[in-house]
A and B are shown apart, each in its own frame.
Chain A
Amino acid sequence: MSRRMQIVLASFCFCWLFVSTAAAQSGGELRFSIQSEPKTFDPMLADDDSSETIRYLTGGFLIRLNRQTQTLEPELATSWKVSNGGQTISFELRRNVVFSDGTPFSADDVAYTMRTLMDPNLHSPTADPFRSVEGQVKIDVKSPTAIVLQFPGPVANLEELFDSVAIVSAKSPHRDVAGLGPFVVAEHKAGSSIVLRRNPNYWKRDAAGKPLPYLDAVHLDIQQNRDLEMLRFRRGEIQLINTIAPDAFDRLAADMRSAAHDAGPSFDTEQMWFNQVASAPIPDYKKAWFRSQNFRRAVSQAINRADMCRIAFAGHAQPAAGMISPANHFWFNAKLRPEETDVPGALKRLADDGFHLDKDVLRDRDGHAVEFSIITNAGNKVRERLAVMMQDDLARIGIRLNVVTLDFPSLIDRISHSFNYEACLLGLVNVDLDPSTQMNVWLSSASNHQWNPEEKTPATPWEVEIDRLMHAQASTTDNKQRKEYFDRVQEIVADQAPFIYLVNKNALSAVSPTVRNAAPVVLRPQTYWNIDSLYLAAPDPSGRHGE
């Protein structure tokens, strides 16, 4: 082949590649499933996964948490400053931004959004973290691009909370649908699907100046059946799955290695706890066991977390050291280590509390055989497997464990209303980096202080200390100082074991090889956090995600 011919051919190939890439980046409809019908399309009232997905895809935010770097990035606010001990935040806003219906965006919209959000009659779940003390938020619109918000008390982690506040228009006649996000809701078939179309007025552009998002539309199928979701992914009918069970993940990885993504330990924890509620309808001698630090730590030491990771999670989990996952780079206390399995150590701790083994049966000092039941939610195969493994582990120290699975409403009724249970195995889904959103777990007066909710006064000295530290970390803006306080909380929890942390499961997801720029992460939404820059490659002629 002559040199000229080679140049012509190379130029042709380059042009074809450029044109095809540009064309692919300009369009396509991304399809994936949400597990239920969104309870609301109002971004201020979103508190279920599906509504939050809609808010993420359609909302415009002042500040965004980059799910990959775990740092805050400017969006509609070009800069911000927190002052007055975490009580005040001032924003400088982006100019020349318009809502999807063409209405200009200004500080008045931010003022309207915050005023509506903080209205106590709205009962917005997004507003709760802003309410550190009673009182009104003072809003001062300095100019169309500058606004100052002053809260009645210091708000821990103030700027990160704006990652959940989607700005709504104060003036648009189509306020319900006008948004500042990459997509707008175009169609909703109840119980079936939601179609989001590209926002033609979206303000963001890529490095080359090309308007974002690349995708034309996002098609959300309402699909509760996870097996069906996987089947449809394999058939190429959907392109993303945010979370996959470990066994399904391995099957997918075996067939379509490039589609299966394990992003490492997630923020979520699996834990068990004992019921320490004074009024619980369980025998007093069992309450005494559950209140004993030695008993709780002995149970923790008897559990083989490595086996749980290996068997129940097929290797896609890590033994948990505590309430914060190592995936949370800043807030994790690196001094903590997962509890090692130590059966002799567990028996020694039990002996210190007067327990003794009687022909392989553990008895307390009054001769009661140690036996308790653990409740968990039915239908979660992995959790059921964990419970069965715990049965075996505890049998080694003479404890008989009975596993009871309940449907979710019955389980919540037991752990939050009737307190008619002995121990519970459940997971905690952590969606925020900052521990201030866990105030409702760690304060002894809180309703999600599961082992003993809504205590009038802290029942133990260590809970007094946790209360003090949590209040202290919430009332300062110095993150180094906050980290010290929260590290101490993590150490107390590890020592006292009110929650016995078992594992941090890995963030497992599936992304079709046809989706470009995807980089699954551990933070939600794992697969489409960078929805702006996702696009679809030309479809496989076979219609399947082949390898």
Chain B
Amino acid sequence: MWIRALPKHFLRLALTIMLGGLLGATLVRLAPGFGVDERELDTRLNTQSIELLRQSHASQRNILGYYRGYLAGLFRGDLGVSTSLDRPVAELFAERLPVTLHSVGIGVAAGWLLGFLLALPAALFRWKAYEIFTAGLSGLFLSLPAAILGLGLVYAGGPASLAIALVVFPRVLQYARNILVQSAALPHVLAAHARGLHRTRVLLWHVLPNAAPLLFALAGISVSMAFGAAIPIEAICDYPGIGQLTWQAALSRDLPVLVNVTLLITVITLAANSLSDLASSAFVRQRI
């Protein structure tokens, strides 16, 4: 049944990705300062060279024409050439994506580990003091912008992945705690407790299976959250990943890089959410 729905699912994903890319490209095109080059202020350049610089962005002015050309190139495996770095975008991604995937991967894993481990006792034992502590802790870190965490890490000499973990963990802690508490309050879980089952058995057999679909959804969201946090963190920490590239591209209105980054983030977000959906539905089917 779900296999038959796959083509429709993929079509919807492809359309969302293409629309996301077009929207990103349009926003960049409409941004003030698009199509200008800092080198225009270089007094050593003569008028012809400056005119040439101005002409170099001419092909990107018609956004629909540009996007059509971009998609045609994309199907040939050509992601275009960065206007600010004058290098193929595919090459830039190949250099930088592993750096970001590494820091985001470690950040998400560490954030989940920390958040989930702190959430478990809150759901299992319902100690008031511990609840206040976790609520305060998650509130504190939620109120800190990713850039501030990045800056703190810079001064402390820590890795970027730790800053990403600190962005992910309070959200995981807060949501996972709520999900687990709700799950632990279900009648059959209370009945299991009443029958004297061990806490661990109740947790593994009754609480977690009920909470799993929502936790999978949270996992999907935390991946896109981590990618979002990677941009300011990498920019502040001067970490050579996709986030730093995106920041520099935004400052220089580098349309080819920004369109590809938009597509990449859309793909990652949708892929993470789809995977969590699939995992969740597969889990539910198995239980039925």
- A residues sitting closer than 8 Å to B (CB atoms) are 36-37, 39-40, 47-48, 123, 125, 128-129, 131, 189-192, 221-225, 228, 231, 406-413, 416-417, 428, 431-432, 437-441, 445-448, 454
Interface 1/0 per residue, B17-34 and A, CB below 8 Å: 000000000000001111
- Chain B residues whose CB sits within 8 angstroms of the CB of A231 once the complex forms: 154-155
How many Å lie between the Cα of A300 and that of B252 in the bound state? 33
Does B190 touch A at the CB level, under 8 Å? no
Listed by A's residue number, 24 A-B pairs whose Cβ atoms lie within 8 Å are A36-B248, A39-B84, A47-B45, A48-B39, A125-B42, A128-B46, A129-B44, A190-B92, A190-B96, A191-B95, A191-B244, A224-B248, A228-B154, A228-B237, A231-B154, A408-B38, A409-B31, A409-B32, A409-B33, A410-B32, A413-B33, A440-B43, A440-B44, A440-B50
Known: A407-B33, A408-B38, A412-B38. A128 touches B45 (CB 8 A): yes
The 8 Å CB contact of B240, one of A191, A408, A438, is A191
Q: How far is the CB of B77 from chain A (nearest CB, A)?
A: 20
- Chain B residues whose CB sits within 8 angstroms of the CB of A408 once the complex forms: 33, 38, 251
A189 touches B240 (CB 8 A): yes
Does B182 touch A at the CB level, under 8 Å? no
The 8 Å CB contact of B40, one of A39, A40, A222, A416, is A416
How many Å lie between the Cα of A311 and that of B44 in the bound state? 32
| Max chain A C-beta neighbours (<10 A), residue from B34, B40, B84 | B40
Known: A39-B86, A40-B86, A440-B47. A412 touches B40 (CB 8 A): yes
The 8 Å CB contact of A448, one of B36, B43, B84, B240, is B43
By size class, the interface of chain B is: 35 or more
A228 touches B95 (CB 8 A): no
The 8 Å CB contact of B36, one of A412, A428, A446, is A412
How many Å lie between the Cα of A71 and that of B38 in the bound state? 30
Question: Which residue of chain B is the closest to A193 with respect to CB atoms?
Answer: B240
Q: How far is the CB of B240 from chain A (nearest CB, A)?
A: 3
Q: How far is the CB of B198 from chain A (nearest CB, A)?
A: 51
- Chain B residues whose CB sits within 8 angstroms of the CB of A428 once the complex forms: 43
- Chain A residues whose CB sits within 8 angstroms of the CB of B43 once the complex forms: 428, 437-438, 440-441, 448
B40 touches A447 (CB 8 A): yes
How many Å lie between the Cα of A125 and that of B237 in the bound state? 32
- B residues sitting closer than 8 Å to A (CB atoms) are 31-47, 49-52, 84-86, 92, 95-96, 99, 154-155, 235-238, 240-241, 244-245, 248, 251-253
Known: A191-B244, A225-B236, A447-B40. A123 touches B49 (CB 8 A): yes
B240 touches A409 (CB 8 A): no
A440 touches B36 (CB 8 A): no
The 8 Å CB contact of B252, one of A128, A409, A437, A454, is A409
Known: A191-B95, A222-B238. A437 touches B44 (CB 8 A): yes
How many Å lie between the Cα of A162 and that of B172 in the bound state? 61
A191 touches B41 (CB 8 A): no
Using a Cβ cutoff of 8 Å, how many contacts connect chains A and B? Answer: 113
Q: How far is the CB of B83 from chain A (nearest CB, A)?
A: 10
How many Å lie between the Cα of A412 and that of B252 in the bound state? 11
How many Å lie between the Cα of A440 and that of B44 in the bound state? 7
- Chain A residues whose CB sits within 8 angstroms of the CB of B39 once the complex forms: 47-48, 125
The 8 Å CB contact of B47, one of A407, A416, A454, is A454
- Chain A residues whose CB sits within 8 angstroms of the CB of B96 once the complex forms: 190-191
Q: Which 10 A-B pairs have the closest CB atoms?
A: A409-B33, A191-B240, A410-B33, A410-B32, A190-B95, A192-B240, A412-B36, A413-B33, A128-B46, A447-B50
- Chain B residues whose CB sits within 8 angstroms of the CB of A407 once the complex forms: 33, 251
Question: Which residue of chain B is the closest to A221 with respect to CB atoms?
Answer: B238
Q: How far is the CB of B55 from chain A (nearest CB, A)?
A: 11
B253 touches A409 (CB 8 A): yes
How many Å lie between the Cα of A276 and that of B141 in the bound state? 51
Question: Which residue of chain B is the closest to A443 with respect to CB atoms?
Answer: B47
B44 touches A190 (CB 8 A): no
A409 touches B36 (CB 8 A): yes
Question: Which residue of chain B is the closest to A420 with respect to CB atoms?
Answer: B32
